[in-house]
Amino acid sequence: MRALSGIQPSGKLHVGNYFGMMKPALELQEKGETFYFIANYHALTSVNEAEALRAGTRDVALDFLACGLDPERTVFYRQSDIPEVHELAWLLSIVTPLSLLERCHSYKDKVAKGVPANHGLFAYPVLMAADILAVQADVVPVGQDQKQHVEVTRDIAIKFNQKFGETFKIPAPMIRASVAVVPGLDGQKMSKSYNNTIELFAPQADTRKAIMRIVTDSKTVAEPKDPTACNIFKLYSLFATDTEREAMAARYRAGGLGYGEVKKALYEHFQAYFEPFRQRREEFQKNPERVEQILQRGAARAREELRKTLKAARRAVGLE
């Protein structure tokens, strides 16, 4: 089984990124071939400052390596180091119906929020399809909000295969249903665009401040509470053991538990969970040459696969 996924360097990675995409992706290292990339071309649809993009790209590399990405098992690279993917995106675009792109939720949602409706934003799913199909991925670990893009990729691959002959594998989305959507501080999906995130590697004081901002209802300490309706409990459950989770749920239902106490428990579990990763990140940060070598080696390995796919696609359409 070959898996591929990417993540944009459009801001600091957060708990939603980790449980929604990073952790499931990293677990796949034990089960097959994995190709993971930093989607810095995709990030250009929202990041308009060159230094911010460079810094974000470095941060994503550090965060992934800190959280357990093994460059001996995983092909890890920057999207911008793989020029072949853009030629493949053009070849895919000639079979992509306009109506298919017009139906994409991500495009419509971003335009509704005031993001300029440019070609890059509109054609984003075609470039994503090229990323996936270029390495002939079997599965794509994604969050629930990205599932449609994988479905679009499948549609594009099927259309290309029907028109030009069998060229691409048809990938499947892999969604970890239990944490498909991680709640943010305000109860919406945790997202940089909503400014409701808990960053993975922020200073401890900032992490504590973010957790204390989690929105709750107005129930008093004495009142019984429904843990399943509480965003603090949902986040706490990501870090707690089954025994801890059940004990906390029982305290919610019994009454006598204040939200401040749960926030404190969440903070302590968060710090304990990410402390080993934080230490590993600091070591990588001290050695930027090593990080660059990992990315360059990953790009070289990825290009070997992409060139095979591109050659087959070029031959299929008559360019070779």
Q: Does the domain formed by 2-181+288-317 have CATH 3.40.50.410?
A: no
Task: Please give the Cα distance from 282 to 274 (Å, whole number).
Answer: 12
The pLDDT score that the predictor gives to residue 228 is 94
Q: Which of 188, 241, 248, 243 is nearest to 215 (CA)?
A: 188
Residue labelled with tokens 């025994």: 243
Residues of the chain with CATH 1.10.240.10: 201-281
Question: DSSP code of 75?
Answer: E
pLDDT for residue 71 is more than 90 = yes
Residues of the chain with CATH 3.40.50.620: 2-181+288-317
Spell out a b/e string for 32-65, using b for 16 or more CB atoms within 10 Å of the CB, else e: ebbbbbbbbbbbebbbeeeeebeebbbbbbbbbb
Q: Write phi, then psi, for 255 (nearest 5 degrees).
A: 85, 165
Per-residue pLDDT band at 141 (split at 50, 70, 90): confident
Separation in Å, CA 129 to CA 20, 153, 188 = 20, 5, 28
Q: Which of 143, 202, 183, 180 is nearest to 11 (CA)?
A: 202
Q: Tens digit of pLDDT for each residue in 236-286?
A: 999 999 999 999 999 999 999 999 999 999 999 999 999 999 999 999 999
Q: Tens digit of pLDDT for each residue in 79-102?
A: 999 999 999 999 999 999 999 998
Q: Which fold is adopted by the domain 201-281?
A: Tyrosyl-Transfer RNA Synthetase (1.10.240)
**Six-digit token pair at 132?**
């996936």
The pLDDT score that the predictor gives to residue 174 is 85
> Percent of the chain at pLDDT above 90?
84
The pLDDT score that the predictor gives to residue 176 is 67
**Are 177 and 171 spatial neighbours (Cβ–Cβ below 8 Å)?**
no
Which residues neighbour 281 within 8 Å (Cβ) at sequence distance 6 or greater? 62, 63, 65, 66, 201
Task: Please give the Cα distance from 215 to 185 (Å, whole number).
Answer: 6
Separation in Å, CA 314 to CA 95, 288, 299 = 14, 37, 21
pLDDT for residue 180 is more than 60 = no
